[in-house]
Structure 1
Amino acid sequence: MSKKTKADLMISKLIQEFEHVNSNRTRIQWEEKALLKLINHYERINNFEKALEVIDFALLTFTVKSEFYLHKAQILIALQKPLAAIDILEQALKNNPQDSNLILYKAKAFCTMGEFATALNLIEDIKRSQHKADDVEILLVEAFIQESMKDYDQMFYKLQEALKLNPNNTEALEQIWISVEISKKFEESIRLHKELIDNNPYSYLAWYNLGHAYSCLGMYQQALEALDYSYLINPHFEQACMDCAELALQENLFEKALEYFTEASERFGEDSDLSVNIVECLIKLKRFKEAKSKLHKAITQDPYNDELFYYLGECYSEEKNWTKAIKYYKESLEIDPEREEFHFGIAKVFEMTGNLRKAEFHYRRASYCGQEQSQYWARYISFLIKNNLPEKAQKALLKSDKVSTGADLLYCKAAFHYLQGDEKKTISILEEALVDDFPQRHIFEELAPEFATGQLYTSMLKYFIAEIQ
């Protein structure tokens, strides 16, 4: 029998015994350890009502045990009842006036009330009276107070100090990323977590935090390696697995992303959102048959997930089965008519099948639904230019200028001015676009092929290629 099964059986037995004793109001002597196991169990599953019931029962017998008072105070603070927590802590302090943990929780309670000065004064009292300036628990509470005060720099430094004293402190490792993300101390976080890993190469949380710091600095390969180590060390760490998958997908490492998403599905259980992730990878890998099979199965379990229908539309579109593609795009739009990618998908199919009126409608809707994203405007404007609708193209360009920016829009604008006969403006805008994003020049070349094959454009390209090199 596994350790987990034994533990589960033990907890079940304790629950039954406690319920029997409590319901019959039987007075029997319980061991302190057994009651603490019950309390920890109820806290772990967030059943605070039952946890408080066990604590109150325990306090009838163990009237001077600080641990039960601490558990009760912790729950009351979590339930946003700081005054009740302070009251229970003051009762406990009558029996144990020098118990620093009781005072620390009292500081946390005052902190949750916004009484930051009182909370910090209690911390200073402990430091002076008990000579504990470098105590990890004190530093953790100080970090909690700094977080509540929104001083994330100081929160980071307190947690860093705590980790230098105890590199394996789980609470500090779990909390420090909040301070890093908001204070932008990514370089400092990398240095700290590398040091922690040197001391303990198997600290999965240190690897996890390191990965996120790398990711925020755009160092995606290093980030993926660090997150991968985190998951390898602790294969039960679901978030690390999902973060690996999402980062791999972001970096177009579709095989690797598929591997992680599949692992997450098998180990932690599949849902429709995870099915969507897996399908997205399969489509990128052009494994349409597998993708469709998975989507049809997922739809039977979650018939209101718009993305499942959208990706079916994508599959059939890739296979040039226009009728089915339109069918499933329409179903996705029936569930959510404001999703820009759904309009964009169906617009492309209508354009391919020659239904230009509907294509124009959905390209416009995609642009307005995702108005901050330049790619939708660029495709809409390109469509209007190609179909000789200059007035509409001009209006779309003016609208896009107010809500979005991007080199793709500059290329569209350059092409528009060229076709209107304004070569001077064309060159000026084109120079800006080439500096911003040289590879996207194909947008202009498709819209203005005559200019793109001329000597002037060729000379411009040679100049920019020389500059890049």
Structure 2
Amino acid sequence: MKFPFGDFSKFSISRFESMLKTNEIQYFDASEFEEIGQYYIDSANLSMAKKAIEVGLNQHPNATELILLLIEYYTLTNSYEEARILVDNLIAIEPFNPYAFQHLAVIQSKCNKHQEAIDSLKKGLMHTDNKYEFHALLAMEYLHLDSFFMAKEYFIRCLEEEVTDNHALYNIIYCFESLKDHDGAIAYMNEFLNRDPYNEVAWHQLGRQYLAKQMYEQAITSFDFAIICDETFIGAYLELGKALEQLGRFNEAINHYEITLGIDDPTAFALLRIGECHLKLKNHDLGIKFLKNAIHEDPLLDKSWLAICGYYMRSKSYEKVLQYSKKAVKIDSSHVIYWRLYAQANKALGFFEEANIAYEHLVNLGSYELQTWLDWVGVLLQLKDYNKGIEALQQGLEFHPENSSLNYMLAGFYMMEAKANEASFFLKNAYAINPNELDVLYETFPSSRTSVLVKDTLSIS
């Protein structure tokens, strides 16, 4: 059992430490040793905790509370076998001690025996008046098993016993979401709010469920109530802004995002959303200003980089796309979309060597989408690097073997290398897959329109 810090006898702790320094044995009550040992455990001073427990058991060898504390110590130091021996012996002596079963469950859980832990907790639950603690532990064990329905049921019991337990409330919503039961979450939250109508967390979570179901007006109402309950609830303002955006009410959304900037330090997310709203309102200069501020506030928030690059890409300002995507890849060199933007900008500006490097890096990062291969070989064609193009297309066909465009492109690259047999083979493949895409070959390799190889391979007169 844990004691709040204020309940500890400072005198007892001071007397115990003085005893250790002088090696003079002094008598303490078992409850004093329990308080001293728990104090050291809570302070993460496990070596002193062990000394207190050992001295205590020397004076009170049958004190259940000290045996439980020793079990807790062994569990914290991963000495599960020693802990298990002690708890089994204690249960044999005190078969109705709920805390013995609680400690047994903790050991079993640490050893990934979660169903056994559940069984132990249910046994302990039958012998305790402290239902809340056991319900909370049972809920967590069911979470370990991904048994979200049962976890939800026990978290609900926690909340019934302690209505202010927002941790349980968050976990209930997590379980409903894991079960993809938004309707159930909405029904439960409305029922809970009948009992606790001024719970800002419940209103906020209810609004999030309405957002998930695209019920934006109901979401707005819920977030409004959350703000009424707590005018400094930043999360509610942000979610309210998102709901307003969905309804095209961008000026109102901006107002709510801006409120958060005055409550606490600006967040990159709020700055990003303000910037995006201004862009949708055609306030381009303001939008870009806020996007830049978002990047400055948190360079690791990828949505800000993607938003500013996306804006410049849509306006075909490829120099700007290159400028920001180059900075982005320096911050996160494993971000696939950053590299795709960087590659596309280089390609659009005619910087084919840099584009080639970027596309190859994209593939190395695991971007195996068809368009990646097509864009890459388009760059290699501009560089007249036919061997590399053949290598890239062969690699692409491993992922998209039935794609006619890749087969037509590979046939064309082999034609450029004057490898007639290979060109004919892949041309036949491509034509068999989709004869209607023969123009891919003609448009990419104009000389193929009059090629004898093409006519002979496809028997075109």
Whether the 8 Å contact between 2:33 and 2:53 is mirrored in structure 1 is: yes
**Alpha-carbon deviation of 1:82?**
3.8
**Matching residue of 2:357:** 395
2:146 to 186, 190, 200: 186
**Matching residue of 2:7:** 51
Whether the 8 Å contact between 1:83 and 1:109 is mirrored in structure 2 is: no
Per-residue deviation, residues 301-339 of structure 1 (Å, max 9, x unmatched): 445533332222112111111111122222222333343
1:124 to 66, 88, 91: 88
**Matching residue of 1:358:** 320
Give matches, 1:21-32, under 5 Å.
Answer: none
Per the alignment, do residues 371 and 167 of structure 1 end up closer, same or farther by CA in structure 2, a change over 3 Å counting? farther
Give matches, 1:294-443, under 5 Å.
Answer: 294-366=256-328, 369=331, 374-378=336-340, 381=343, 392-405=354-367, 409-414=369-374, 429=400
**In 1, distance between residues paired with 2:136 and 2:189?**
18
Q: Bigger shift: 330-339 or 95-104?
A: 95-104
Give matches, 1:141-156, under 5 Å.
Answer: 141-149=103-111, 154-156=116-118
**In 1, distance between residues paired with 2:192 and 2:64?**
36
Q: TM-score, normalised by structure 2?
A: 0.63
Per the alignment, do residues 390 and 176 of structure 1 end up closer, same or farther by CA in structure 2, a change over 3 Å counting? farther
Per-residue deviation, residues 143-174 of structure 1 (Å, max 9, x unmatched): 23344556556545544554577798222333
Per the alignment, do residues 300 and 228 of structure 1 end up closer, same or farther by CA in structure 2, a change over 3 Å counting? closer
**Matching residue of 1:18:** none
**In 2, distance between residues paired with 1:321 and 1:286?**
15
Q: TM-score, normalised by structure 1?
A: 0.62
**In 1, distance between residues paired with 2:86 and 2:225?**
48
**Alpha-carbon deviation of 1:291?**
2.2
Per-residue deviation, residues 56-92 of structure 1 (Å, max 9, x unmatched): 49x9xxx997666544443332112345445555676
Per the alignment, do residues 404 and 253 of structure 1 end up closer, same or farther by CA in structure 2, a change over 3 Å counting? farther
**Alpha-carbon deviation of 1:402?**
2.2
2:41 to 51, 61, 77: 77
Is 1:109 the counterpart of 2:73 in the alignment?
yes
**Matching residue of 2:189:** 228
- Uncovered stretches (5+) of structure 2, i.e. residues with no partner: 16-26, 382-388, 405-433, 438-461
Per the alignment, do residues 84 and 255 of structure 1 end up closer, same or farther by CA in structure 2, a change over 3 Å counting? farther
**Alpha-carbon deviation of 1:238?**
6.7
Per the alignment, do residues 353 and 339 of structure 1 end up closer, same or farther by CA in structure 2, a change over 3 Å counting? same
Q: Bigger shift: 148-157 or 76-85?
A: 148-157
Whether the 8 Å contact between 1:374 and 1:405 is mirrored in structure 2 is: yes
Whether the 8 Å contact between 2:169 and 2:202 is mirrored in structure 1 is: no
Whether the 8 Å contact between 1:73 and 1:85 is mirrored in structure 2 is: yes
**Matching residue of 2:414:** none
Whether the 8 Å contact between 2:125 and 2:134 is mirrored in structure 1 is: yes
Whether the 8 Å contact between 2:216 and 2:247 is mirrored in structure 1 is: yes
Whether the 8 Å contact between 2:312 and 2:320 is mirrored in structure 1 is: yes
Whether the 8 Å contact between 2:102 and 2:121 is mirrored in structure 1 is: yes
Per-residue deviation, residues 323-356 of structure 1 (Å, max 9, x unmatched): 1112222222233334322222222333455532
**In 1, distance between residues paired with 2:281 and 2:402?**
38
Per the alignment, do residues 69 and 234 of structure 1 end up closer, same or farther by CA in structure 2, a change over 3 Å counting? farther
Whether the 8 Å contact between 1:120 and 1:142 is mirrored in structure 2 is: yes
Whether the 8 Å contact between 1:282 and 1:288 is mirrored in structure 2 is: yes
Whether the 8 Å contact between 1:272 and 1:305 is mirrored in structure 2 is: no
Whether the 8 Å contact between 1:139 and 1:159 is mirrored in structure 2 is: yes
**In 1, distance between residues paired with 2:82 and 2:198?**
41
Q: Which amino acid aligns with 2:7?
A: A
Whether the 8 Å contact between 2:135 and 2:154 is mirrored in structure 1 is: no
Q: Bigger shift: 69-78 or 85-94?
A: 85-94
Whether the 8 Å contact between 2:359 and 2:376 is mirrored in structure 1 is: no
- Uncovered stretches (5+) of structure 1, i.e. residues with no partner: 1-38, 434-453, 458-469
Per the alignment, do residues 379 and 243 of structure 1 end up closer, same or farther by CA in structure 2, a change over 3 Å counting? farther
Per the alignment, do residues 401 and 316 of structure 1 end up closer, same or farther by CA in structure 2, a change over 3 Å counting? same
- What is the number of residues matched between the two proteins? 379
Larger radius of gyration: 2
**In 2, distance between residues paired with 1:155 and 1:411?**
51
**In 2, distance between residues paired with 1:175 and 1:354?**
56
**In 2, distance between residues paired with 1:317 and 1:238?**
32
**Alpha-carbon deviation of 1:288?**
1.6
Give matches, 1:163-178, under 5 Å.
Answer: 169-178=131-140
Q: Which amino acid aligns with 1:330?
A: K
**Alpha-carbon deviation of 1:300?**
3.6
Whether the 8 Å contact between 1:385 and 1:393 is mirrored in structure 2 is: yes
Per the alignment, do residues 214 and 161 of structure 1 end up closer, same or farther by CA in structure 2, a change over 3 Å counting? farther
Whether the 8 Å contact between 2:339 and 2:361 is mirrored in structure 1 is: no
Per-residue deviation, residues 189-214 of structure 1 (Å, max 9, x unmatched): 524655997x9995778886565345
Q: Which amino acid aligns with 2:43?
A: L
CA RMSD of aligned residues (A): 4.8
Per-residue deviation, residues 76-133 of structure 1 (Å, max 9, x unmatched): 321123454455556766887655344222311232234333322221121112233x
Whether the 8 Å contact between 1:258 and 1:281 is mirrored in structure 2 is: yes
For residue 186 of structure 1, give the secondary structure of its aligned residue in structure 2: coil
Whether the 8 Å contact between 1:340 and 1:365 is mirrored in structure 2 is: no
**Matching residue of 2:454:** none
